[in-house]
Chain A
Amino acid sequence: MSEPILHVENLGKAYRSYSSEWRRMLSWFGAPVKPIEERWVLRHLNFGIQPGEAVGIVGQNGAGKSTLLKLITGTLRPTEGAMRINGRIAAMLELGMGFNPEFTGRRNAYHTAGLMGFSQEEIEKAMPEIESFAEIGDYFDEPVRTYSSGMQVRVMFAVATAWRPEILIVDEALSVGDAYFQHKSFNRIREFQEMGATLLIVAHDRSSIQTLCDRAILLENGRVIKDGNPEEIFDFYNAMIAEKENLTVKVVKLDNGKAQTISGTGEARVEEIALYNSKGEVAEYVNVGEPIELRIKVKVHRPVETLVLGYGIKDRLGQVMYGTNTWHTGQVIHNPRPGDEYRFVIAFPANLGIGSYSIQTALVDRDTHLTANYEWRDMALVFNVVNIDKTQFAGCLWNEPRISIESLTQ
């Protein structure tokens, strides 16, 4: 085993508050002042990263991911523990930081490279490379205020990766910019990796971590709770989230503006709703094209003449991807009695693009909700479609083609 390029030992970071800022200042000079509160964001972290490893850092918001990255880059200082780094770090946290809109891309690139600690000669030598990688043509010598955000990202990325670092830290920067440049930057990161650079990636989506990383670290409440191969970590992570969300559904319903909204007269109600994957397990993440089932339990509270269940699948922007109801399918329930319960099982393949979707349900009397609206529920359930084994594709629908190619030259 070689010397680790990054070694973290009992690392911890606490934010301290004092009863007054004067006391904080006194504490720097060794005065025996106790903080009134210590909030540990990270604690007892121990791990080592070998040169050339690509490590994904996974965790929910507030788990301490960005604090960890800031400690590694050095903008924050650890409160306890030690950290050993053998090599130069390039961090791509927040691309586009510190650009002066009045200056040209070139001058800003110069300035940012200086901020990274490079000398004038080094920057001048690298400048043609930066310019050609950014591929923004004559705009490179125009003020940044005339740039689109994508162009800014291009310049920033080109500068940040102009010199091969020993450790490259990427914080979801890959998801910005246009598809072409995303690909280009992805390739560059791959190249660094092949040349032996160590990668540290923070991302929420499984795909970018699984394609780049050979190891993942799962953070929760400031501790490392799992360290292993990305596949295993993500399964664990998803299970953890699923469990948590089930427990907090009631709370989410109440105060979060984006959460479920329920309206209606209440003659019938959705009692339970869940999504099952092809293995028959409750799932929050489903594979593209996987046969899935939406199971909805409905209870009748007051007598009605007809009962129709409608549902819709919406993408994260609220666009309906697909929706229908039991009026159209000819499955209207007539004269249900109070206390009756029905289970609807809606089976369909998840022929959707990668992303997050929500289910909306409606209990009505006929094909529209305009004559009677027993219950209307937005965001009744949220699930994600991930691409595990299909050909890579773009868009909001999975429509696998068969492509044939024949050579026409002799």
Chain B
Amino acid sequence: MFGMLLRAWRYRHFIYSSIKNEFLSRFARSRLGALWMVIHPLAQVTIFAFILSAVLSSKLPGIDNRYAYALYLMAGMLAWSLFSELVSRSLTVFVDNGSLLKKMMFPRICLPLIVSGSALVNSLLLFVAILAIFALLGHLPGWNILWLPVLIVLNVMLGAGLGLVLGVFNVFIRDVGQVVPIVLQFWFWLTPIVYIPTTLTGRYKHWLFLNPMIPLVNAYQNILVFGKEPKWLPLTGTAIFAIVSLIFALFFFRKAAPEMVDTL
């Protein structure tokens, strides 16, 4: 496993230039270029904000900004969009690059690394956009925002780990590629991004602690919206889950790699 990472290190220029290429290719023949990466999640925030806040007039306790709900949505969306981009793009990365894998020899681990890198760039862009909107709406996140890098690392480990396992699965069982987007949508609604966790009643409420995304999304909301420190205890659970899934993913990937090209 160490050798695998060492080989990837030797290809760092390639990984870097691929991420750059992917970023630049958004500008080719599209006027707003990479802005679309920011516009999509923000448009979703606007839709939810409009429907839930203006139409259903839900209230957010504990904060007195009248745009409070929009802020809350944006924080959750920042966490979720990074995670879902990592999972859904890692899912198809090997299948999409099948012909390249068959013809060129390079460390295969570069592909998921490129995906992770470019998802990270997109997330940072979204973060900058969100900060600007926060400032416009008259909200300052406070010092706890400095915890954000820790949360991002956790988020990337979780998303990349799960994505890598699913991506390898998808090479052998293509149905995985169809199922995962549906599961992701379910998962989105099982995570308090659009709604407040305290509004949850229902029978299944007690099972939600199994969702490793909840502490993460909650931490994003705490540091960006409520100016509070993340809740470390539940986050530890997420961290353990992320580390285990990443290690398993690398191990699984290494076992699968020899047969992957045979099947593509």
Kindly state whether residue B105 has any CB partner on chain A within 8 Å.
yes
In the bound complex, how far is the Cα of B14 from the Cα of A119, in angstroms?
A: 8
Kindly state whether residue A97 has any CB partner on chain B within 8 Å.
yes
A118: chain B residues within 8 A (beta carbon): 13
In the bound complex, how far is the Cα of B13 from the Cα of A231, in angstroms?
A: 45
Contact residue among B17, B99, B255, B262 (Cβ-Cβ distance under 8 Å from A28): B255
B104: chain A residues within 8 A (beta carbon): 75, 91, 97-98, 115-116
Using C-beta atoms within 8 Å of the partner chain, give the interface range for chain A.
35 or more
Kindly state whether residue A140 has any CB partner on chain B within 8 Å.
no
Across the interface, do A115 and B29 meet the contact criterion of CB distance under 8 Å? no
How far apart are A30's CB and chain B's nearest CB, in angstroms? 10
B22-74: which residues lie under 8 A (CB-CB) from chain A?
24-25, 28-29
How far apart are A234's CB and chain B's nearest CB, in angstroms? 28
Contact residue among A24, A74, A98, A143 (Cβ-Cβ distance under 8 Å from B172): A24
Contact A28 to B256, CB < 8 A, known contacts A114-B14, A117-B10: yes
Kindly state whether residue B147 has any CB partner on chain A within 8 Å.
no
A28: chain B residues within 8 A (beta carbon): 252, 255-256, 259
Across the interface, do A115 and B106 meet the contact criterion of CB distance under 8 Å? yes
Using C-beta atoms within 8 Å of the partner chain, give the interface range for chain B.
20 to 34
Contact residue among B13, B28, B252 (Cβ-Cβ distance under 8 Å from A114): B13
Across the interface, do A115 and B14 meet the contact criterion of CB distance under 8 Å? yes
- Which one of A53-61, A102-110, A301-309, A383-391 is at the interface? A102-110
Contact with B along A17-45 (1 / 0, CB 8 A): 00001101100110000000000000000
Kindly state whether residue A373 has any CB partner on chain B within 8 Å.
no
B100: chain A residues within 8 A (beta carbon): 97-98
Across the interface, do B13 and A21 meet the contact criterion of CB distance under 8 Å? no
Kindly state whether residue A120 has any CB partner on chain B within 8 Å.
yes
Kindly state whether residue A278 has any CB partner on chain B within 8 Å.
no
In the bound complex, how far is the Cα of B105 from the Cα of A97, in angstroms?
A: 12
B236: chain A residues within 8 A (beta carbon): none
Kindly state whether residue A249 has any CB partner on chain B within 8 Å.
no
Across the interface, do A107 and B261 meet the contact criterion of CB distance under 8 Å? no
A25 nearest CB neighbor, chain B only = B172
Across the interface, do A111 and B18 meet the contact criterion of CB distance under 8 Å? yes
How far apart are B94's CB and chain A's nearest CB, in angstroms? 13
Across the interface, do A24 and B255 meet the contact criterion of CB distance under 8 Å? no
Contact residue among B18, B106, B256, B261 (Cβ-Cβ distance under 8 Å from A76): B261
Kindly state whether residue B202 has any CB partner on chain A within 8 Å.
no
Kindly state whether residue A77 has any CB partner on chain B within 8 Å.
yes
A83: chain B residues within 8 A (beta carbon): none
Contact residue among B25, B101, B172 (Cβ-Cβ distance under 8 Å from A21): B172
In the bound complex, how far is the Cα of B71 from the Cα of A119, in angstroms?
A: 43
Across the interface, do B262 and A111 meet the contact criterion of CB distance under 8 Å? no
Across the interface, do A73 and B262 meet the contact criterion of CB distance under 8 Å? no
Across the interface, do A76 and B11 meet the contact criterion of CB distance under 8 Å? no
B105: chain A residues within 8 A (beta carbon): 73-75, 89, 91
Kindly state whether residue B3 has any CB partner on chain A within 8 Å.
no
B25: chain A residues within 8 A (beta carbon): 100, 102-103
In the bound complex, how far is the Cα of B255 from the Cα of A28, in angstroms?
A: 6
Scoring B172, B257, B258, B262 by chain A CB atoms within 10 A of each residue's CB, the highest score goes to B262
A110: chain B residues within 8 A (beta carbon): 17
In the bound complex, how far is the Cα of B259 from the Cα of A77, in angstroms?
A: 8
How far apart are B23's CB and chain A's nearest CB, in angstroms? 12
B102-123: which residues lie under 8 A (CB-CB) from chain A?
102-106
Kindly state whether residue B21 has any CB partner on chain A within 8 Å.
yes
Kindly state whether residue B173 has any CB partner on chain A within 8 Å.
yes
Kindly state whether residue A15 has any CB partner on chain B within 8 Å.
yes
Across the interface, do B261 and A75 meet the contact criterion of CB distance under 8 Å? yes
Across the interface, do A75 and B14 meet the contact criterion of CB distance under 8 Å? no
Across the interface, do A25 and B256 meet the contact criterion of CB distance under 8 Å? yes
B175 nearest CB neighbor, chain A only = A21
In the bound complex, how far is the Cα of B104 from the Cα of A97, in angstroms?
A: 9
- Can you give 18 A-B contacts (C-beta < 8 A)? A15-B262, A16-B259, A22-B173, A25-B256, A28-B256, A75-B261, A77-B261, A93-B103, A102-B25, A102-B28, A103-B24, A111-B18, A111-B21, A114-B13, A117-B14, A120-B13, A120-B17, A143-B28
**Interface set of A (CB-CB < 8 Å, partner B):** 15-16, 21-22, 24-25, 28-29, 70, 73-77, 89, 91, 93-94, 97-98, 100, 102-103, 107, 110-111, 114-120, 123, 143
**Interface set of B (CB-CB < 8 Å, partner A):** 10-11, 13-14, 17-18, 21, 24-25, 28-29, 99-106, 172-173, 252, 255-259, 261-262
Nearest first, the 7 A-B pairs at minimum CB distance are A114-B14, A102-B28, A28-B255, A77-B258, A74-B105, A21-B172, A120-B13
What 19 additional pairs, Cβ within 8 angstroms, besides A28-B256, A97-B104? Answer: A16-B262, A21-B172, A21-B173, A24-B259, A25-B172, A28-B252, A28-B255, A29-B255, A75-B103, A76-B261, A100-B25, A102-B28, A103-B21, A103-B25, A114-B11, A114-B13, A115-B14, A119-B13, A123-B13
